[in-house]
Chain A
Amino acid sequence: MLIPHPILGSRDAREFTYLGDVRLVDRPDPTGPDAEAAFCDYVFLRDNPAGVHRELWFHEQGDRSCLVVTRSTITHDILGAELARDFALARKRGGE
């Protein structure tokens, strides 16, 4: 698989380490009233969709940036990639 890195262009997936579902950027509030249940959900439960999946790929053998890659789990087609930093900032601005 080739991952379209937003800065470095098309890179071999072998340069990356797979970190899993993009929901991992949404770390729950550790001081919240239901923090224990929320963290259990965050750490262990996954949607695991058959179809379009947004996921984190860490460019470990490259520029060490973290990407949010949109990929089909049925065909392995990669539909897009952006810097996880941009993704997180956009969510913050969007008030999510």
Chain B
Amino acid sequence: MKFSGFRVFAEALKGNTGWRPLWRNPEPKSDYDYVVVGGGGHGLATAYYLAKTFGQSRIAVLEKGWLGSGNIGRNTTIIRSNYLLPGNEPFYEFSMKLWEGLEQELNFNAMVSQRGVINLFHSDSQHDSFRRRANAVILAGADARLLSREDLRAMVPFLNFDNARFPIRGALLQPRGGTARHDGVAWGYARGADLRGVDLIQNCEVTGFRIVDGKIRGVETSRGYIGAGKVGVAVAGSSGRVMAMAGMRLPMESHVLQAYVSEGLKPILPGVITFGAGHFYISQSDKGGLVFGGDIDGYNSYAQRGNLPVVEHAAECGLALMPMIGRARLLRMWGGLMDMSMDGSPIIDRTNIEGLFFNGGWCIGGFKATPASGYSFAHLLATGSPHETARAYRLDRFSRGYVIDETGTGAHPNLH
């Protein structure tokens, strides 16, 4: 089933009776060459690129709940590639390039909208650090522009430029950054993988790994044993729980991050805006809701819900930044499990168990990485070597002293 304008028109004439489910719902087979644990954005993208780009077959994705039921279905949908460090920036720029071609690649509307990401700065030192970041971004082949206060005022006049405590001095703009429709990304990858023969198995919880002589043989699941040549784990906030079944302790903690959506409003925000004096980011969805978020709650949590102090903090940041949203009512809020790593950067690597691979530690920024994460993980699974942009994401970088600490806060996962 190919999507096109003609198809939409033809279906309209037929009363939309010709649409079919986007993927099959197959029974698990007894064994596969590749088993991907986790049917979220990263797992589905991994399966898609394994089948499409690396030409592999006999692939299954095992998902405990329904496809896209984790963080891909509960994030603030921001895509950007404006990182500072050489271990990160080429990877995120690779991801941005994949985003730019994603809809044609998948024949699916993921609503990728490059409406620009504005990072505000409020002091001279922040100005200097953003200039440095902009240069690092440009050196890696991505795009960045430093905006003066006047440039910025012309673009977003509604900001509170003269806040007494945190006056806005300017901003770092990435014009190619923006947002995407988070569920659409999961559905597009799921459909693309299914069309290439990948078995997407839902309601199938992995309950253990079968490991013989240091080599993976398969996975125990709630729907029986499934043999596997290679197993790739991409389960985000549940990484600790899943890898513990393989006897591994990870350099990460699971934390809760909340996000919020207001009632639908007329278009007021042109792109993504982040506050530089507190952790706060906001954009407006195509439906009109203000989508915003702030810090993680800051303590270990698997609850998928947070507490009110962080809600209050995010609301305060929002009002300091743009007082006009003070009357907007909050429509809904939710929490997701973040796999907060010890340096704030992800891990895409093999493990000490032959045939078992791990993808995780995405902290609060996994959504933008979805395409490159899937591509790089598929590259690692299929070829046995890391993708050129993901070479720094090794599991042993902590013991070797090669941490990738964007924020420079050290081994404190709740500060990244």
Question: Which A residues fall within an 8 A CB radius of B?
Answer: 1, 13-14, 18, 20-21, 37, 40, 43-50, 53, 55, 71, 73-76
Contact = CB atoms under 8 A, between A and B. Distances in A.
A50 B301 CA distance: 8
B104 interface: no
B303 A18 contact: no
Contacts of A18: 298-299, 414
A73 B303 contact: yes
B399 A40 contact: yes
Given A45-B249, A46-B252, A76-B301, 12 more contacts: A13-B309, A14-B309, A18-B298, A20-B253, A40-B398, A43-B398, A46-B253, A48-B254, A49-B240, A73-B254, A74-B302, A74-B303
A23 to B, nearest CB: 11
Contacts of B414: 18, 20
A53 B398 contact: no
A73 B412 CA distance: 18
B207 to A, nearest CB: 14
A55 B399 CA distance: 24
Contact of A73 (B244, B252, B300, B307): B300
Interface of chain B: mostly helix, strand, loop or mixed: mixed
Contacts of B412: 20
A48 B299 contact: no
B342 interface: yes
B240 A46 contact: yes
Q: Which 6 A-B pairs have the closest CB atoms?
A: A48-B240, A44-B251, A44-B398, A50-B302, A45-B249, A40-B399
Interface residues of B, number: 25
Given A14-B309, A44-B398, A73 B302 contact: yes
A49 B241 CA distance: 7
A44 B253 contact: no
Contacts of A47: 240, 244, 249
A46 B309 contact: no
B411 interface: yes
Contact of B252 (A48, A49, A53): A48
Contact of A48 (B298, B300, B309, B399): B300
B237 to A, nearest CB: 10
A45 B248 CA distance: 10
Nearest to A49: B240
24 contacts: A1-B307, A13-B307, A20-B253, A20-B300, A20-B414, A21-B253, A21-B300, A40-B398, A44-B411, A47-B240, A47-B244, A48-B300, A50-B240, A50-B302, A53-B300, A55-B299, A55-B300, A71-B299, A73-B300, A73-B301, A73-B302, A73-B303, A74-B302, A75-B303
A4 to B, nearest CB: 16
A76 B299 CA distance: 10
Contacts of B399: 37, 40, 44
B253 A48 contact: yes
Contact of B250 (A21, A45, A73): A45
A20 B301 CA distance: 11
Given A1-B307, A48-B240, A43 B411 contact: yes
Report which residue of A14, A43, A45, A46 has the largest number of chain B beta carbons within 10 angstroms of its beta carbon: A46
A18 to B, nearest CB: 5
A20 B411 CA distance: 11
A48 B411 CA distance: 14
